[in-house]
Structure 1
C-alpha cells in the first residue's frame, strides 16, 4: 500500500462536497446536452408583518422546469395560496422558456392537489417510510 492510495470516507452532510459535485455534474450535463446549467427560482408569500405564509422553490434547465419544495403555513391552507404559488412558478418557468414542468410529492402530501392542476402522474416509487410512495408528476406548459 502506498501513501497516495485513495481514501473512502463516510460521514455527515458535507456542504463543500455537495458544491463540488454540483459544479462537476453541471459541467458534465451542459457538455452532454448543450444546455447551460440549471437555474433556481423561488416564490414567497408573506403577511403584513413580513412573516412567511408559504413558498415554493424550483429550477429551470433548458425547456424543463421543476418544483423542488412547496409549503403553506397551516393557518393559511385551503385559502388558495398553494394554487397561487404553483401558478406563479409555472409563469416563471414559461417566462424562462420552459414547455414542461416536473415534480415529486409523497403520497401522504399533495398528489391530488397537483392532479387538480393538470399534472399527470408519471410513476411511483414505493418504500417511503410508513408504507407511502414517492409520486412523480409531469405537466405540459405549452397548451
Structure 2
C-alpha cells in the first residue's frame, strides 16, 4: 500500500457548514431529497412547579433520534420516563415519523426502553470506555 500522507496536509479544524453542504449534495444526487427536514423536539415534565424530567430528540426525514432523556432522582420510579416517551410518540405520529431510535449504556436504562416497546438493534462492547456496553434500540410506530 502506498503512503499518500505526504501529499496531504491535515489540520485540527473542520467546517461544519461545508461538510453539511457536501453531505446534502450527496443526498440530493442519490435520493433527490434536498434537505433532512430536521426539527428539534423538546419535552419537559413538571411536577408541582419543578422540572421532574425531560427529553430532547431530533426529527430527521421520517425518523426521530432521542439525544437526551433524564429524570431527576427524586422523581424516578414514578413513570415519568415512560410518560416522556409516550408524549414523544404522540408528537412523532403527528409529524408522520415512523421510527424512533436511541442509544443507552448498560449502566443506564436498556431494560426500561425494552419495557417501553423498543427493540435491541445492536451493541458495542467497551464503548465509550472499557467495561461498558452501548446498546442501540429502535421502535417502529
Q: TM-score range by the shorter chain?
A: 0.7 to 0.9
Aligned equivalents of 2:56, 2:19: Cα separation in 1:
17
Q: Secondary structure at the match of 2:117?
A: coil
Kindly state the Cα deviation for residue 111 of structure 1 after the two structures are TM-superposed: 0.2
Per-residue deviation, residues 47-87 of structure 1 (Å, max 9, x unmatched): 444x4221000011222112111000000001111011111
Kindly state the Cα deviation for residue 140 of structure 1 after the two structures are TM-superposed: 1.0
Q: When the two structures are superposed, what TM-score results if normalisation uses the length of structure 2?
A: 0.79
For structure 2, the 5+ residue unaligned runs are 1-7
Distance change in 2, residues 1:35/1:101 (3 Å): farther
Aligned pairs for 1:18-37 (under 5 A) are 18=16, 20=17, 23-24=20-21, 27-28=24-25, 30-31=27-28, 32-33=30-31, 34=33, 36-37=35-36
Distance change in 2, residues 1:35/1:41 (3 Å): farther
With 114-123 and 34-43 compared, the bigger mean Cα shift is at 34-43
| Number of residue pairs matched by the alignment | 131
Aligned-residue Cα RMSD (Å) equals 2.5
Aligned equivalents of 2:88, 2:22: Cα separation in 1:
25
Is the Cα contact below 8 Å between 1:106 and 1:133 reproduced in 2? yes
Aligned equivalents of 1:113, 1:69: Cα separation in 2:
14
Match of 1:8 in 2: 10
4+ residue runs over 4 A deviation: none
Match of 1:78 in 2: 77
Match of 2:4 in 1: none
Q: Secondary structure at the match of 1:103?
A: strand
Aligned pairs for 1:1-143 (under 5 A) are 8-10=10-12, 17-18=15-16, 20=17, 23-24=20-21, 27-28=24-25, 30-31=27-28, 32-33=30-31, 34=33, 36-37=35-36, 38-49=38-49, 51-128=50-127, 129-141=129-141
